[in-house]
Every structure is written in structure tokens, then in C-alpha cells.
């Protein structure tokens, strides 16, 4: 058996992989997961979600499979709120200054 080096992740897989827009991608992933949970909970079709949120069925299908580069954070937040969840944005010191 060979030695395997294990490195602890930062909590943002996109940052760990070196994506320039890692924070935005991580936020989109969190939003997509929330939307996916709502769809399952409410037993909604992708078509129904698209109609409720003003998206195309293709957009819904793509971002639920992790292809959300072409979908804005604002559009995803609108989808979450249109499906009945509130979104709170918290601004706080990051400790970086």
C-alpha cells in the first residue's frame, strides 16, 4: 500500500481547485442545492420551477446538474424566493483588513 497525502480542504472546492470566481461558484452551488431541495420537497417538475421563476426548463435542468456558469446569482436567488424561501445576505468583517 502506498502512502497517500491528505490535504484538508478550505470548505470551498472551487477555491481548492483554483477557480478565479470560486466564491461566486460556491454561492451558486449552495443556491442550486437549496433549489434542488425545494423541488424534491414540493415534488415540482423542472417545467413548473421554470414557469414559477421565469427561467427556461433548460436553465433549471442545467444549473441543477452543476452547470451554472451562464446563470447569474441574482437569477438563482430570484428562483429561490419564487419557490417560497427567504434569502438573507449578511455582511460582516472578514478579518482580512
Q: Give the pLDDT confidence of 13-57 residue by residue, as tens digits.
A: 999 999 999 999 999 999 999 889 989 998 999 899 889 888 889
Mean pLDDT computed over every residue of the chain? 87
- Say what the pLDDT of residue 22 is: 93
Confidence (pLDDT) at 1: 62
**Cell for 25?**
461558484
Cα-to-chain-centroid distance, residue 50: 16
CATH number of 13-82, picked from 3.40.50.800, 3.40.50.720, 1.10.760.10, 1.10.260.40? 1.10.260.40
Q: How far apart are CA 86 and CA 78, in angstroms?
A: 10
Q: Is the dihedral of CA 19, 23, 24, 28 positive or negative?
A: positive
Evaluate if residue 69 carries a pLDDT over 90: no
Q: Which three cell numbers stand for residue 72?
A: 447569474
Amino acid at each position: 500500500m502506498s502512502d497517500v497525502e491528505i490535504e484538508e480542504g478550505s470548505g470551498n472546492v472551487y477555491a481548492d481547485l483554483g477557480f478565479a470566481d470560486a466564491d461566486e461558484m460556491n454561492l451558486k452551488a449552495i443556491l442550486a442545492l437549496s433549489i434542488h431541495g425545494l423541488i424534491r420537497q414540493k415534488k415540482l417538475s423542472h417545467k413548473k420551477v421554470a414557469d414559477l421563476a421565469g427561467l427556461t426548463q433548460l436553465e433549471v435542468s442545467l444549473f441543477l446538474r452543476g452547470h451554472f456558469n451562464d446563470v447569474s446569482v441574482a437569477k438563482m436567488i430570484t428562483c429561490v424566493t419564487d419557490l417560497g424561501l427567504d434569502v438573507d445576505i449578511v455582511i460582516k468583517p472578514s478579518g482580512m483588513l
